[in-house]
Structure 1
Amino acid sequence: MADDRDERAWAALAIGRLDAERGELGPTPLIPFPLPGQGVTLLFKDESAHPTGGLKHRSARALFRHAIACGRITEGGTVVEATGGNAAVAQAYMARLLGLPYVAVMPGKDDPAKARPVRELGGECRFVTPPLAIYDEARRVADDTGGCYLDQFAWAERALDWRGDDVAGELFAQVPDAAWVVVGAGTGATAASLGRYVRHRGLAARLAVVDPENSAYFPGWATGARDYATGMPSRIEGIGRPRMEPGFLPSLVDLMLPVPDAASVAGARAVRAATGLAVGGSTGANLWGALRLAARLMERGEEGTIVSLVADAGERHLRGVHDDGWAAGKGLDPAPYAAVIERFLAGGGWEEPAR
């Protein structure tokens, strides 16, 4: 019994530390994005203001909090995740806050640049090939260490709160009259929390989800096939999946907008030009979707506020979506989509290039 009491005491202390970290940060700020004309407003909630530079900071905190409350993470236990993106940095931050060992299993060959921010936070990175082997390897590491495999795709949707004390509550406290909220889907957790909050509060806001090429979310939503899969990876970091993940809840989504990958690149560059933030492609996809919605509202003579997210920002994106060489290497030409954005922001109509 003594050990059980000690474990519960540690859990309460650890969750208290996570809650205190959230309280110290306060709400992330809103950034206006200039639109032509009157009546339609576009705001970006800047999640890059988090200490680890992105939206995954919230998800990591929620995952740790939930896993501790469920008894999956225990005092001194190793935390393991299979991820190649920002989630590893955010989770390493939370692990350090709680004094826990952390291992990120990443796809591909050893990449010191990708591993550096995790290792600087005291975490360990292990690279494996083929890329899809990261999930089995993460489970193996967790089993070998007696630790917890976080498994964000299975747990984030359950962990991220939708009743008011996370991104949904913050966003609607700042913009209570939002007509549309535009986000991407990675694990599906952010979209699910926003959609649930809207229904919980009886709000008029509608939820739009942008989806990149090769992702299963848009065709799965359109066809109603919960097992839809493309088997192809997304070129846009942080959003899109080769299969319909369990955390994506189609019933909560009012509209899905497929976004060409080159449009995501053009959108990221447009956000940087307007705000100075070197955002990633997921934020670029958010902008493209938000502008399409804004154009639709304007064409109908409607008014309203559209809110989206700056999912993350950082210098590393200057070597990615903001670099012409990177785009060319991916076979992407953002110029036609940049022209669409420029024409619209100058007061012209919205006309997408032929594909």
Structure 2
Amino acid sequence: MTPDHSNTWAAQAIRRLHAEGLAYGPTPLRPLPLPALEGIEVYLKDESAHPTGSLKHRLVRAMFCQAVATGRITADTTVVAATGGAVAVAGARFARLLGLSFIAVVPARTPADTLARVEREGGRWQPAEGPPAGVQQEARALAERLGGHFLDHFTDAERALAGCGEPTVADEIFEQLREEPHPVPAWIVTGAGTGATSASIGRHLRHHGHPTRLAVVDPENSAYFPAWASGCPDYATGMPSRIPGIGRPRTEPGFLPTVIDLVIPVPDAASIAALRWLHDTARVPAGPAAGTGLWGVCHLVARMREAGARGSVVTLVGDHADPYRNTHLDPEWVRARGLDPAPYAGAVERFADTGEWPAAGSGPATGGSWSGA
């Protein structure tokens, strides 16, 4: 392809990517009815409404834009990703939008429905030959052999959102809250997988001078809470998260602790209990990470009530419930993994009904040591 043709293709590709975002518009911001919380409103920013059903859709679109703009993706580039999750589905969709080949190198236990979704979006997949820890290296090596582009979401997503991610999720939240009783939220709550979403929100808050504080909820086994609490930038636990989409065995390059006001460790059983309440009582078909977020919201709102504060709190719904009906929403699956949500379920129900939350150290509401709220 000649340089002129290459530039023409790149310009058309970026226009297509931007048009895709504009075609679907902002994801919904939904109030979560909690009548007991007088003067405090809780909202769910529903990122599951993206066409591929996950907040990773927004990240992957920005990564494609950046890679096209910098010439790393051209008209004949094969795009390779190392994931058996939402990034693979979104990657396949955006590759098809641009007429490109896409291959996901997936861990051995990737659910069959995820693989089917990659195929439906026009992508291909192949199982990793080595252990899960080596999937990234295998995918990178495959991209090099093919002369393709490795879509490294752990390294590139944060930078891509910073340069090519507008409108960001924070842009949308503030626009959608404009006519609400408390248009500037007291807290925004999110998890951290790549760290890109929390970094994007934190930068937005500081750039615009908002008094809103940013809280990251972190599941068991994840390195992010201990990294934030200790100030150790390369903290590692070596253990995988059981809450899909958030938590990592090591701190990833996109995690920016300096823009985060608080990290809240959340027991996995508490995430499941909050997920069940969202699903069964609030009728919100959310994925497990939304349960983690709700648990963090309970902590923050309880502190606001103790201080006599009013305001709004926004938490992100990262994906939909459908992929988890045979896992995190299945009591047998949960029990087989040694998780008992029952002690935490009562705390969530009591909070929803009365606004009361156990004091720190007094019961199942405590998920670890944290401060700064």
SS state at 1:207 partner: strand
Alignment: residue pair count: 354
Q: Is the counterpart of residue 192 in structure 1 residue 199 in structure 2?
A: yes
What is the one-letter code of the residue matched to 2:310? E
Deviation at 1:125, TM superposition (A): 1.1
What is the one-letter code of the residue matched to 1:15? I
Q: Separation in 2 of the partners of 1:277 and 1:318? A: 13
Contact 2:88 2:104 in 1 (8 A): yes
Contact 1:62 1:156 in 2 (8 A): yes
Q: Separation in 2 of the partners of 1:112 and 1:235? A: 18
What CA deviation, in whole Å up to 9, does each residue of 1:37-60 have, x standing for no partner?
Answer: 311110001111111111111011
Deviation at 1:110, TM superposition (A): 6.8
The equivalent residue for 1:70 is 70
Unaligned runs of 5+ residues in structure 1 are none
What is the one-letter code of the residue matched to 2:138? E
Alignment of 1:60-99 (within 5 A): 60-99=60-99
Q: Is the counterpart of residue 218 in structure 1 residue 225 in structure 2?
A: yes
Deviation at 1:126, TM superposition (A): 1.3
Q: Separation in 1 of the partners of 2:272 and 2:175? A: 31
Q: Separation in 2 of the partners of 1:181 and 1:109? A: 33
Assess, with a 3 A threshold, how the Cα gap between structure 1 residues 139 and 178 changes in structure 2: closer, same or farther: same
Q: Separation in 2 of the partners of 1:95 and 1:182? A: 31
Alignment of 1:180-329 (within 5 A): 180-329=187-336
Assess, with a 3 A threshold, how the Cα gap between structure 1 residues 33 and 262 changes in structure 2: closer, same or farther: same
The equivalent residue for 2:172 is 170
The equivalent residue for 2:371 is none
The equivalent residue for 1:159 is 160
Identity %: 52
Q: Separation in 1 of the partners of 2:115 and 2:63? A: 21
What CA deviation, in whole Å up to 9, does each residue of 1:21-74 have, x standing for no partner?
Answer: 111111111111122131111000111111111111101101111111111111
Q: Separation in 1 of the partners of 2:64 and 2:184? A: 32
Q: Is the counterpart of residue 338 in structure 1 residue 337 in structure 2?
A: no
Structure 1 segments of 4+ aligned residues over 6 angstroms from their partners: none
Q: Separation in 2 of the partners of 1:244 and 1:311? A: 20
SS state at 2:232 partner: coil
Unaligned runs of 5+ residues in structure 2 are 178-182, 368-373
Deviation at 1:201, TM superposition (A): 0.6
Q: Separation in 2 of the partners of 1:110 and 1:283? A: 21
Alignment of 1:14-163 (within 5 A): 14-35=13-34, 36-109=36-109, 111-128=111-128, 129-161=130-162
Which segment drifts farther, 164-173 or 104-113? 104-113
Q: Let me know the Cα RMSD of the aligned residues.
A: 1.6
What CA deviation, in whole Å up to 9, does each residue of 1:4-29 have, x standing for no partner?
Answer: 11111111110100000111111111
Deviation at 1:309, TM superposition (A): 0.9
Q: Separation in 2 of the partners of 1:170 and 1:41? A: 17
Deviation at 1:79, TM superposition (A): 0.5
What CA deviation, in whole Å up to 9, does each residue of 1:113-135 have, x standing for no partner?
Answer: 33110011111111123111211
What is the one-letter code of the residue matched to 1:264? S
The equivalent residue for 2:370 is none
Deviation at 1:109, TM superposition (A): 4.8
SS state at 1:302 partner: coil
What CA deviation, in whole Å up to 9, does each residue of 1:250-288 have, x standing for no partner?
Answer: 000001100000111111112223443332111110111
What CA deviation, in whole Å up to 9, does each residue of 1:219-276 have, x standing for no partner?
Answer: 0000000011001100110000111111000000001100000111111112223443
Contact 2:302 2:355 in 1 (8 A): no
The equivalent residue for 2:180 is none
